[in-house]
């Protein structure tokens, strides 16, 4: 019940901060960063100067009209600054929270010799605690070693070289559930500012002070390290060109009006203030004011999804991606094989298979083992037996035997890989029948994993372990296919298994028996064909492929090498996040395109509002264009510039939130964009300017 007031307070604080920053951004150096709004800024200064001159009778328009135009132009600049400031404000708020998590702490520094000695100590943790040198975390450098125990903060980014620990990463990810980090493998990286909850670790520093992952996050979320993307630069060049064109047109119109006034033997009705207002209204000020906010908001949406983009270019590239390389395990499937069926062979019954498999799995704490116990209970209500005092001997799984089981009540019960069990039973005089071989082959062909169950060297049957495809993933892939994005599954499975899972999940293609080299070769091949490729990875062996991909999402739980190779880091370490990243990237491009279309379409209506009102007295032939029939040139100009300012404010929520994303083809999106934002951008100004003209006339302002 209290979340809404708290959220409202946060938004209020954000808005107040943005209002203050809008005035701070009035500095010429800040305005020069946006050439289009720089021209509005200069126009506001010019009209203010004209107002001062008008007070001394040196002006060609009434002081009240000039100051009214000047005020509206200053508001236009402030509204543009506000749009950018409120977009940046989200990042600054998150950066403040991250800074609170970033603080210097005392570190237990070690050297290589101490680590080697500690590895052989009876109590390594106590040895390291006594022998370590206490130093401030700010002086730690790359390759230094330090020791962290339970309830201590990790002082710097690094790779675990010894030990394992439960780590609270909520300061970085926002997730309260602790994670396991351990030496070796792909989950050895730790981040400075996180806290060890249990056990201990020895860590080698991978980033100097000021260049840590937390420092990079702070810089990116507050846009301090944000550079304009190629698409932004290209659009900005177009907007500058249009602005120059309209500047030339406005100056030329003054010459034409002076010539027309001379021909009609009358004073020139077109004032400098009017032409300045005309120039501002015709220039693409709407998109010029919102362009920066759109880009910042796009990165902010990624931050809210717990993804750190190392560059704005990566966010845009995500919008252009048309090939997705996705790991099977954890992305397409749940990552743990589940028992789905007991298949009896050679005269055994299904219940016998279930009973033996359940006994062999009672002490098996793997997800596969637990799923066998659950399936036996669901199918036959076989419950765990009391084993104390029964003389049960557990036979653990080893890489050599590839089997596990129990010796129980005078019986040898085993479960394991098909070829391992085959060798085991044949070595004890048992038989591997053709019926059993066919069951194994059928399961493998269907994409599953066969697990043979034996009792006293006789094969009773096969447990069908199945990779469970995630719920809803097939619909996700169908949406991506509609958008023209090709999905490619990467797996280390054999081609037969890979083909079965790919068909069930609905992916377009697959790469079986994948190695780091095949991943890299596949990305290069797709890029050579002109595709934009995205992929995820978490291991050191993924680094070459991540470095090659256009959009490379490294898992925060992964190795430092993977994070350095990627251009995005998923703080949640969820491989399926890649789908969300692509949608956010496409939404960014859609938002920019939609608002650009709307802005340019706006100029058409403003043209019909101002040009006829200004020049009909000089060129009566222009009456044919006077379709709005505004009250007077002054009300027409005031209505247009007021609308020009207010529309920026009205579009700020859309720029920040983004145009609603829809899975559709590029052609259908373009058609919808032209209808909604093109046609809407023409119709809305006609209505709004006419209403403003009526209001100004009614109030007698102009």
Question: Known binding site for Mg(2+): residues?
Answer: 538, 542
d(CA 453, CA 345): 10
Beta-bridge partner residues of 568: 309, 553
Determine the number of helices (DSSP H) and then strands (DSSP E) in the chain: 25, 21
- According to DSSP, residue 470 is labeled P
Element (H, E) at 204: strand 195-205
Q: How far apart are the first and last CA of the chain?
A: 49
Alpha helices in 222-267 (DSSP H): 230-263
d(CA 266, CA 417): 101
Determine contact, residues 568/299, Cβ cutoff 8 Å.
Answer: no
Dihedral sign for Cα atoms in the order 274, 276, 277, 281: positive
Element (H, E) at 323: strand 323-327
Annotated binding site for ATP: 364, 368, 397-404, 415
Q: What is the SS3 assignment for 617-677?
A: CCCHHHHHHCCCCCCCHHHHHHHHHHHHHHHHHHHHHHHHHCCCCCCCCHHHHHHHHHHHH
Residue among 653, 654, 670, 650 at smallest CA distance from 662: 670
Residue among 498, 468, 83, 485 at smallest CA distance from 293: 83
d(CA 221, CA 207): 19
Annotated binding site: 364, 368, 397-404, 415, 538, 542
Determine contact, residues 132/110, Cβ cutoff 8 Å.
Answer: yes
d(CA 158, CA 363): 36
Beta-bridge partner residues of 165: 181, 199
d(CA 702, CA 700): 6
Q: Give catalytic residues, as residue numbers.
A: 327
d(CA 84, CA 478): 36
Determine contact, residues 180/143, Cβ cutoff 8 Å.
Answer: no
The pairing of strands 568-570 and 307-309 is antiparallel
């Amino acid at each position: 019940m209290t979340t809404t007031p708290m959220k409202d307070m946060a938004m209020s604080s954000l808005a107040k901060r943005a209002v203050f920053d809008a005035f701070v951004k009035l500095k010429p150096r800040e305005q020069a960063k946006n050439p289009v709004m720089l021209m509005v800024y200069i126009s506001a200064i010019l009209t203010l100067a004209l107002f001062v001159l008008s007070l001394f009778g040196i002006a060609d328009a009434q002081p009240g009209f000039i100051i009214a135009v000047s005020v509206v132009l200053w508001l236009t600049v402030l509204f543009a600054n506000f749009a950018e400031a409120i977009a940046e404000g989200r990042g600054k708020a998150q950066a403040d929270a991250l800074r609170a998590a970033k603080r210097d702490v005392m570190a237990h520094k070690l050297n290589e010799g101490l680590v080697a000695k500690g590895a052989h100590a009876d109590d390594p943790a106590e040895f390291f605690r006594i022998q370590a040198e206490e130093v401030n975390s700010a002086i730690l450098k790359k390759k230094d070693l330090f020791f962290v125990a339970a309830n201590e903060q990790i002082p710097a980014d690094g790779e675990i070289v010894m030990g394992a620990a439960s780590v609270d990463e909520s300061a970085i990810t926002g997730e309260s559930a602790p994670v396991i980090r351990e030496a070796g493998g792909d989950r050895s990286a730790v981040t400075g500012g996180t806290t060890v909850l249990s056990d201990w670790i020895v860590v080698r520093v991978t980033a100097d002070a000021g260049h840590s992952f937390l420092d990079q996050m702070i810089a990116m979320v507050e846009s301090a390290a944000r550079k304009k993307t190629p698409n932004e630069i290209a659009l900005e060049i177009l907007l500058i060109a249009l602005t120059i064109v309209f500047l030339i047109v406005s100056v030329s119109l003054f010459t034409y009006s002076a010539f027309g006034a001379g021909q009609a033997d009358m004073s020139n009705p077109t004032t400098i203030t009017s032409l300045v207002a005309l120039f501002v209204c015709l220039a693409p000020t709407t998109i010029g004011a919102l362009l920066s906010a759109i880009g910042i908001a796009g990165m902010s949406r990624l931050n809210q999804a717990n993804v750190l983009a190392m560059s704005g270019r990566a966010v845009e590239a995500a919008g252009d991606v048309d090939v997705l390389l996705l790991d099977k395990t954890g992305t397409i499937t749940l990552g743990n094989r589940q028992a789905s069926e007991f298949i009896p062979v050679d005269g055994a019954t299904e219940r016998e298979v279930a009973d033996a498999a359940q006994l062999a799995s009672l002490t098996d704490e793997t997800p596969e083992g637990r799923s066998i116990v659950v399936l036996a209970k669901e199918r036959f209500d076989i419950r765990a037996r009391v084993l104390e005092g029964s003389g049960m001997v557990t036979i653990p799984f080893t890489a050599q035997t590839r089997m596990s089981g129990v010796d129980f009540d005078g019986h040898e019960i085993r479960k394991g890989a098909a070829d391992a069990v085959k060798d085991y039973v044949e070595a004890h005089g048992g038989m591997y029948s053709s019926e059993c071989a066919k069951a194994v082959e059928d399961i493998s062909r269907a994409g599953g994993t066969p697990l043979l169950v034996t009792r006293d060297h006789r094969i009773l049957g096969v447990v069908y372990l199945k990779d469970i495809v995630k719920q809803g993933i097939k619909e996700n892939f169908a949406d991506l296919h509609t958008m023209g994005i090709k999905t490619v599954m990467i797996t280390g499975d054999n081609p037969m298994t890979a083909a079965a899972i790919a068909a069930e999940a609905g992916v377009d293609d697959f790469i079986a028996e994948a190695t780091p080299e095949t991943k890299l070769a596949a990305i290069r091949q797709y890029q050579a064909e002109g595709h934009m490729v995205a992929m995820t990875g978490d291991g050191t062996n993924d680094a070459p492929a991540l470095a090659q991909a256009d959009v490379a999402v490294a898992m925060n739980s992964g190795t430092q090498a993977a994070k350095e190779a990627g251009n995005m880091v998923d703080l949640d370490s969820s491989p399926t996040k890649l789908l969300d990243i692509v949608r956010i990237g496409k939404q960014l491009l859609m938002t920019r395109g939609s608002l650009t279309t709307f802005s340019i379409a706006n100029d058409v209506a403003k043209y019909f509002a101002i040009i006829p009102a200004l020049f009909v007295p000089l060129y009566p032939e222009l009456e044919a264009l006077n379709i709005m029939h505004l009250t007077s040139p002054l009300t027409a100009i005031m209505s247009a510039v007021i609308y020009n300012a207010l529309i920026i404010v009205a579009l700020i929520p859309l720029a920040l939130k983004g145009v609603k994303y829809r899975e559709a083809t590029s052609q259908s999106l373009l058609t919808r964009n032209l209808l909604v934002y093109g046609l809407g951008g023409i119709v809305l100004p006609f209505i709004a300017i006419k209403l403003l003209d009526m209001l100004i006339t009614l109030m007698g302002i102009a």
